[in-house]
Structures are given as structure tokens and as C-alpha cells.
A and B are shown apart, each in its own frame.
Chain A
Amino acid sequence: EAGVTQFPSHSVIEKGQTVTLRCDPISGHDNLYWYRRVMGKEIKFLLHFVKESKQDESGMPNNRFLAERTGGTYSTLKVQPAELEDSGVYFCASSQDGRGETQYFGPGTRLLVL
């Protein structure tokens, strides 16, 4: 069974540009989470989808971030326009149960904004 996959693995962009990150959860997992780790800080929650609906988006830093999960399968996280402080590692996780007790993480996308 394939794990959670994320694309791209790395992205280097200039301030003001747009970047779109993609996450493919484990097949059949209705719950999809986005987290971010900024250098020197802990991993922080961004957003939680249940199927195609946003269950909790209280961790999204501002309106430059837009997450979608059309059809309840893969998800995208778009940052527009990117700022220097958006640099970090963006992780996606999925789980089958709604309690989130076993979350499977992807390898992350390393974003560097110059």
C-alpha cells in the first residue's frame, strides 16, 4: 500500500511568487491534515479536511494560504503571494479514523522563499 505522497519535494521561489503544494493521502483515508515546520520551531497544524470539507482551518496563518481538496482525494495548498516567513517544511498527513490517533505523514515539501 502506498503511503502519503507529496509533490514537489523541494521548491525554491522568489518573494511574491505563487507556489502550489500537492498531497496524495493513503487511499481510503477521509481525514487529511496539513502541518508546517518553520526552522527552529515545532511542527504546527494548519488545516484539517474530512473528505472535501474543511473541518478545522484555524491554523492557517493568513489569507495568502488556500487549501483545497476537490473530490475528497488529493489536496493542494497554494501560497500566493509567498513571503520570506513562509519558508519551511510543509507536511501532509492522513488518517482513516476521525480521532486522528494514527496519522501517517508524507515526506514533506521543503519550501524556500528568497
Chain B
Amino acid sequence: SQKIEQNSEALNIQEGKTATLTCNYTNYSPAYLQWYRQDPGRGPVFLLLIRENEKEKRKERLKVTFDTTLKQSLFHITASQPADSATYLCAHPRNSGYSTLTFGKGTMLLVSP
């Protein structure tokens, strides 16, 4: 079955630095990957989608890469701020042709002032 692995350890960085989160997937070649942000007590909020034929996508201070050879996506937040502190989830379609999602457990990011 499909599985998404994200670093379970929290990532602690200083304000202003670049945060890099990793998402590795197995047993499947998804047509796209998504990244979500989740704050405590809230539902996931969609951030970015990157397709298998895209190497990189940017949105403001966010950048996502997609390496289908390594089966890996990297999520970068540049010039990080304390307000970026949250859990970030990686997801992809459960199966080809399906719109339902498989999620990773998420990585908690803590940005210190």
C-alpha cells in the first residue's frame, strides 16, 4: 500500500532562516503531491500542489520540489517567521484516478524569534 514518510522529529530553526521539510513516498508514482499546513485544533489548510512533470513550484516564501526518481518532495520556507510554526503535511492521491488522499504524519516546525 502507499505510504508517505515525513520526519517525525520537530524541526527547530531560528527566525529568518530557511526551513526544509522532507516527504518520501513509496510503492506508487503519484500524479501530484500536495502540502498542507495544520495548526493545533484546526483542520489542514492547502498550501501548494506540484505535479509529476514539474520540478519546482513557488508561492511567495514557499518552494516545493518534486523528484520522481528519488520519490521525494522537499518543502522550503524562506525567511521563516514565528508565525510559520505549525505542522506541515504531505499528501498524494490514494490511487491513480482517485481524488481521495493519502497523508504523511506531518512534521512540526518551530520557528524561534
Contacts and interface: CB of A to CB of B under 8 A. Distances in A.
Given A42-B4, A101-B32, A107 B42 contact: yes
A101 B33 CA distance: 9
A75 interface: no
A73 interface: no
B103 A107 contact: no
Interface bracket on B: 20 to 34
Interface residues of A, number: 26
Interface string A55-81: 010010000000000000000000000
B89 A48 contact: no
A43 B4 CA distance: 11
The residue in A31, A33, A45 that gathers the most chain B C-beta atoms within 10 A of its C-beta is: A45
B76 interface: no
Contacts of B89: 43
Interface in B64-85: none
The 4 closest A-B pairs by CB, nearest first: A100-B99, A105-B43, A43-B103, A45-B100
Interface of B: 4, 32, 34, 36, 41-46, 49, 89, 93-94, 98-106
Nearest to A95: B99
A19 to B, nearest CB: 19
B42 A98 contact: no
B46 A103 contact: yes
A88 interface: no
B86 to A, nearest CB: 14
Given A42-B102, A100-B99, A104-B46, 7 more contacts: A42-B4, A42-B103, A42-B106, A43-B103, A44-B103, A59-B100, A91-B44
B104 A42 contact: yes
Contacts of A100: 93, 98-101
